Amino acid sequence: MSQEWLIEIEDLHARAGDAEILRGIDLKIGPGEVHAIMGPNGSGKSTLAGLLAGKPDFEVTAGSIRFRGKDLLELEPEERARQGMFLAFQYPVEIPGVANSYFLKASLNAIRSARGEEELDAIEFLSLVREKMKLVEMPEDLMSRAINEGFSGGEKKRNEVLQMLLLEPTFAVLDETDSGLDIDALRTISSGVNHLRSPERSMLVITHYQRLLDYIVPDHIHVLSEGRIVRTGGKELAVELEEKGYHWLEGA
């Protein structure tokens, strides 16, 4: 892998069952870059996010993904996480019986161990998590509850971004993180995400709407349609899509 690219996707084809979803994706993201993917429902956005994270629902039929010089498709999901991959889910799942604080502390220490860093004890973790919770305006009582159980949509998304703030991934995929958020929650979540932007960290932001990109301003925007990237541009492309919709790109 060329050192200028953190992730390289080449001619990626994938299917779910008998349905072909991705039909040749080419995408390169360098360190420090934020790329956005927009597109209509069914275009393959969440399929791409799931493939990057290692979800077993999809089968790659051609092409490759390289991450930090390694064949990503050969790595199990937990190894991808240890290498610095993070996925913020469109629909965060509830996990009854597992305390949010326990999960976050175990996740953070697993990543720290993989990086060769010392694990945090309970007091050190509590101090750190309180600091990060302020960035997403998350109530402390959510730490003692089961993961996402009974959380509102906005609280689930705050919890996702809190995980990202704690784990400090090298490459973060945000799969429609703005879904279901009101304008105040959108600003708060975006502020938390922007807090992590750095020359070493890259992000792939998947969204339907231009409004998120007013807060998380990407370096490049790609439009996905029928399993292919059919247009790439800057911020003006998102504005054009907001005005015209996606129909004008059909057949591109």
Q: Is residue 158 part of a domain?
A: no
Note if the pTM is more than 0.85.
yes
**CATH for 235:** 3.40.50.300
Is pLDDT at 97 greater than 60 in this prediction? Answer: yes
18-47 residue pLDDT tens: 889 999 999 999 999 999 999 888 889 989
pLDDT band at 1 (very low <50, low <70, confident <90, very high): very low
Q: Domain total for the chain? A: 1
Q: Is residue 102 part of a domain?
A: no
- Give the mean pLDDT of 152-181: 92
- Give the mean pLDDT of 97-111: 94
Show the domain range for 245.
7-93+169-249
Q: Is residue 210 part of a domain?
A: yes
Q: Is residue 160 part of a domain?
A: no
Q: Is residue 129 part of a domain?
A: no
Q: Where are the beta strands (DSSP E) in 17-151?
A: 19-29, 34-38, 59-67, 70-71, 85-88, 95-99, 146-147
According to DSSP, the β-strands at 34-38 and 220-225 are parallel
pLDDT score recorded for residue 252? 56
pLDDT score recorded for residue 246? 80
Q: Is residue 52 part of a domain?
A: yes
79-96 residue pLDDT tens: 999 999 999 988 888 899
Q: Is residue 103 part of a domain?
A: no
Q: Is residue 143 part of a domain?
A: no
